[in-house]
């Protein structure tokens, strides 16, 4: 019997796709293969796909290898990596997408062409799954990267002092280790989609070594992309009806946190517990009016609409102060922008601007993300959100968070949303696996979704929730539901810490320490541990406490043990 044809390793697919296709091909009959070839050729002819008719009978020429290395926290870099993979396949590369969590620097040193896409988190920190990669890359004993040709795409937010720091750091370190930078780095702000796409399209052809054979004519453009939700996007969101809105914190609480229910009926949004919803907020009309007045542009209706719906009128960066200074001659000390907003700048500058000058100073209004606090198995076509309204004073002015106050105070019937999936914050595939959830404040939101899902699935794994806030009486979010879950056995353990109910502050990490022996026991029995909520005040302390607990409970090397748990996909964080 003649052997089945198998795709060579150089085929323009990821390894797992080659394996999957080979499984199909090797199990097929000659008739089935002929049918498939005819089907693809016919499809190409009907759709005018270039090149398919000229597919050579011989194995294709070697395609230039390309590794697209991403470091992500909330998925943007990963989505761009997938987009770059598609574009690279079309250009005749053999691209492979890799998470920084899954590569060592020794493996990196063996690569030829690398496209790095990395975001910056915390205050100039790498995404958590890229921390080990960064540490190894920056270490004194990092290997030389002389063979490597690379380019860096950096994601960030200009509102942060350390704008795109991680991309900058990687770019400089790769060069210092002898790698060849083939294209200049692009540092993207929150409206990264269009500049990042253009940069990828311009950079990929440069990454392709000149001596690689031209194989474009032989590439079969068959899109094996995962079935993506063709649902609403940031550019084309869904107007979800707000069907329920309840303030959860008591009237005497110092925080102001609300439960919202949105109807997603007809949207095509199919979320999983752990995902977030992107919200396109609107600015406070009163602030838009103050900005117009300060710029001498009151009465311009179109501009007012743009300031409310489309432009960021709250962030103020050093670059905006510089741009304004060039326009008006205004001078300010370094760091003047900190804690201030555009309206402060316009008032301090006391200069009239044209509408074009004002809009030229402003960036597009970025979306905000909220963890989905429900499971579709429990609530059908709804998504529930838990939103803490942000209010604070700075430089003598009362300020409001754009989205959180828009959602909780300016009651609108509908809000524009899109899905932001988070593949890295999912319940274990095995329902028998136990889960530990650490979610103080609004960090409890995804865990409500997790618990609804575990209850609906009748999952046998144990569930342990750590919750914390300020006061038991005013701030115990979802108290009745949580107590019901405790009663009906969905929740096996609940540990709470209310920081201001006693003279000494008490936080979730204190309750973790009190339960250290059971906590270490659950982890060593294979439980998955999830942390959600405040990145700076909570997640760092929880991480330090986990290390302390493992060391106290007999670990030879607590960091190595926690790293191993993380690599095993059992230490997952969604922190902001």
Ligand X SMILES: Cc1cc2nc3c(=O)[nH]c(=O)nc-3n(C[C@H](O)[C@H](O)[C@H](O)COP(=O)(O)O)c2cc1C
Ligand Y SMILES: Cc1cc2nc3c(=O)[nH]c(=O)nc-3n(C[C@H](O)[C@H](O)[C@H](O)COP(=O)(O)OP(=O)(O)OC[C@H]3O[C@@H](n4cnc5c(N)ncnc54)[C@H](O)[C@@H]3O)c2cc1C
Site for ligand X contains 170 (CB under 6 A)? no
Distance CA 374, CA 395 (A): 38
Indicate which single residue of 445, 538, 542, 572 sits in contact with ligand Y (rule: CB under 6 A): 445
Distance CA 230, CA 265 (A): 15
**Tokens in use for 14?**
């990821």
Q: 182-221 mask for ligand X (x: CB under 6 A)?
A: --------x-------------------------------
Distance CA 519, CA 536 (A): 23
Cβ atoms of 270 and 277 within 8 Å: the answer is no
Q: 180-199 mask for ligand Y (x: CB under 6 A)?
A: --------------------
Stretch that binds ligand Y, among 53-61, 375-383, 401-409, 472-480 (CB under 6 A): 401-409
C-alpha dist (Å) from residue 445 to 275, 297, 497 = 11, 41, 17
In the numeric block, the tokens 């079935």 are attached to 227
User: In terms of CB distance, is 118 or 549 closer to ligand X?
Assistant: 118
User: In terms of CB distance, is 39 or 392 closer to ligand Y?
Assistant: 392
Q: Which residues pair with 478 in a beta bridge?
A: none
Site for ligand Y contains 113 (CB under 6 A)? no
Q: 108-147 mask for ligand X (x: CB under 6 A)?
A: -----------xxxxxx--x--------------------
Cβ atoms of 566 and 558 within 8 Å: the answer is no
Min dist CB 456 to ligand Y, Å, is 21
**Tokens in use for 10?**
């150089």
Indicate which single residue of 150, 425, 447, 576 sits in contact with ligand X (rule: CB under 6 A): 576
Indicate which single residue of 18, 44, 69, 75 sits in contact with ligand X (rule: CB under 6 A): 75
Distance CA 53, CA 113 (A): 30
Min dist CB 444 to ligand Y, Å, is 9
* Of 388, 415, 390, 411, the residue nearest 309 (C-alpha): 415
Stretch that binds ligand X, among 150-158, 241-249, 326-334, 474-482 (CB under 6 A): 150-158
In the numeric block, the tokens 């919200």 are attached to 279
Scored b (16 or more CB within 10 A) or e, 264-275 reads beebebebbbbb
**Tokens in use for 567?**
């690599």
Helix (H) or strand (E) holding 416: strand 414-420
User: In terms of CB distance, is 218 or 407 closer to ligand X?
Assistant: 407
Min dist CB 75 to ligand X, Å, is 5
What is the full DSSP assignment across 265-317?
A: TTS-----TT-EEEEE----HHHHHHHHHHHT-TT-HHHHHHHHHTB--S---
Query: What single DSSP character describes residue 526?
Result: T
Count of chain residues binding ligand Y (CB under 6 A): 24
Residues 313-332 that bind ligand Y (CB under 6 A): 314
Site for ligand Y contains 466 (CB under 6 A)? no
Site for ligand Y contains 219 (CB under 6 A)? no
Site for ligand X contains 97 (CB under 6 A)? no
Site for ligand X contains 330 (CB under 6 A)? no
Min dist CB 134 to ligand Y, Å, is 20
Give me the half-sphere count of Cα atoms (radius 13 Å) on the Cβ side of residue 158.
22
Q: Which residue's Cβ lies closest to ligand Y?
A: 401
User: What residue 358 binds from ligand Y, ligand X, none (CB within 5 to 8 A, per partner kind)?
Assistant: none
User: What residue 278 binds from ligand Y, ligand X, none (CB within 5 to 8 A, per partner kind)?
Assistant: none
Site for ligand X contains 278 (CB under 6 A)? no
The set of residues, in sequence order, having a beta carbon less than 8 Å from that of 493 and lying 6+ positions away, is: 462, 463, 464, 465, 515, 518
User: In terms of CB distance, is 397 or 516 closer to ligand Y?
Assistant: 397
Query: What single DSSP character describes residue 536?
Result: I
Cβ neighbourhood burial of 89 (10 Å; 0-12, 13-18, 19+): buried
Site for ligand X contains 157 (CB under 6 A)? yes
Count of chain residues binding ligand X (CB under 6 A): 24
Identify the three-state secondary structure at position 203: helix
In the numeric block, the tokens 């150089």 are attached to 10
Q: 373-392 mask for ligand Y (x: CB under 6 A)?
A: -------------xxx-x-x
Indicate which single residue of 394, 423, 473, 483 sits in contact with ligand Y (rule: CB under 6 A): 394
Distance CA 512, CA 515 (A): 5
Indicate which single residue of 10, 22, 49, 162 sits in contact with ligand X (rule: CB under 6 A): 162
Q: Which residues in this chain contact ligand Y in the complex, by CB under 6 A?
A: 74, 276, 281, 314, 339, 368-371, 386-388, 390, 392, 394, 401-405, 442, 445, 574, 576
Q: Which residues in this chain contact ligand X in the complex, by CB under 6 A?
A: 72-77, 119-124, 127, 155-157, 160, 162-165, 190, 535, 576
């Amino acid at each position: 019997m003649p052997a089945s044809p198998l795709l060579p390793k150089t085929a323009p697919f990821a390894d797992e796709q080659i394996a999957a296709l080979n499984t199909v091909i090797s199990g097929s009959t000659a008739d089935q293969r002929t049918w498939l070839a005819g089907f693809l050729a016919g499809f190409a002819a009907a759709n005018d796909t270039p090149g398919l008719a000229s597919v050579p009978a011989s194995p294709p020429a070697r395609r230039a290898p390309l590794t697209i290395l991403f470091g992500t926290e909330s998925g943007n870099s990963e989505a761009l990596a997938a987009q770059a993979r598609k574009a690279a396949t079309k250009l005749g590369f053999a691209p492979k997408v890799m998470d920084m969590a899954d590569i060592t620097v020794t493996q990196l040193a063996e690569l030829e062409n690398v496209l790095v896409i990395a975001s910056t988190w915390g205050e100039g920190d790498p995404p958590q799954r890229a921390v080990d990669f960064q540490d190894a890359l920056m270490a004194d004993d990092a290997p030389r990267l002389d063979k490597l040709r690379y380019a860096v795409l950096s994601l960030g937010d200009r509102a942060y002092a350390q704008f795109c720091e991680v991309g900058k750091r990687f770019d400089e370190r790769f060069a210092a280790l002898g790698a060849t930078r083939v294209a200049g780095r692009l540092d993207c702000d929150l409206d990264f989609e269009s500049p990042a796409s253009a940069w990828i399209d311009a950079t990929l052809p440069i990454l392709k070594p000149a001596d690689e054979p031209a194989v474009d004519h032989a590439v079969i453009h068959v899109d094996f992309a995962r079935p993506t939700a063709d649902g609403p996007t940031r550019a084309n969101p869904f107007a979800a009806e707000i069907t329920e809105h309840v303030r959860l914190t008591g009237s005497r609480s110092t925080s102001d946190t609300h439960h919202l229910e949105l109807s997603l009926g007809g949207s095509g949004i199919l979320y999983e517990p752990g995902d977030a919803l992107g919200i396109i907020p609107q600015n406070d009309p009163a602030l838009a009016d103050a900005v117009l007045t300060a710029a001498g542009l009151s009465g311009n209706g179109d501009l007012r609409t743009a300031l409310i719906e489309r432009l960021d009128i709250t962030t103020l960066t050093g670059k905006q102060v510089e741009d304004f200074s060039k326009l008006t001659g205004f001078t300010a000390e370094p760091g003047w922008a900190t804690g201030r907003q555009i309206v402060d700048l316009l008032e301090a500058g006391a200069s009239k601007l044209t509408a074009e000058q004002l809009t030229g100073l402003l960036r597009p209004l970025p979306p905000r993300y909220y963890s989905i606090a429900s499971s579709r198995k429990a609530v059908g076509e709804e998504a529930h959100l838990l939103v803490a309204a942000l209010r604070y004073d700075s430089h003598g002015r009362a300020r409001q968070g754009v989205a959180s106050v828009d959602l909780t105070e300016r009651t609108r019937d509908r809000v524009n949303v899109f899905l932001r999936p988070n593949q890295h914050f999912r319940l274990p595939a095995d329902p028998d696996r136990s889960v530990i959830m650490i979610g103080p404040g609004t960090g409890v939101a995804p865990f409500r979704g997790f618990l609804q899902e575990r209850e609906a699935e009748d999952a046998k794994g144990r569930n342990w929730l750590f919750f914390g806030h300020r006061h038991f009486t005013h701030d115990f979010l979802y108290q009745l539901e949580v107590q019901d879950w405790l009663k009906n056995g969905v929740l096996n353990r609940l540990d709470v810490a209310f920081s201001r109910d006693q003279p000494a502050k008490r936080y979730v990490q204190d309750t973790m320490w009190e339960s250290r022996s059971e906590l270490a026991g659950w982890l060593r029995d294979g439980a998955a541990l999830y942390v959600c909520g405040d990145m700076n005040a909570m997640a760092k302390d929880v991480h330090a406490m986990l290390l302390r607990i493992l060391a106290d409970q007999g670990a030879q090397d607590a960091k190595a043990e926690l790293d191993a748990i993380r690599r095993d996909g059992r230490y997952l964080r969604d922190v902001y």
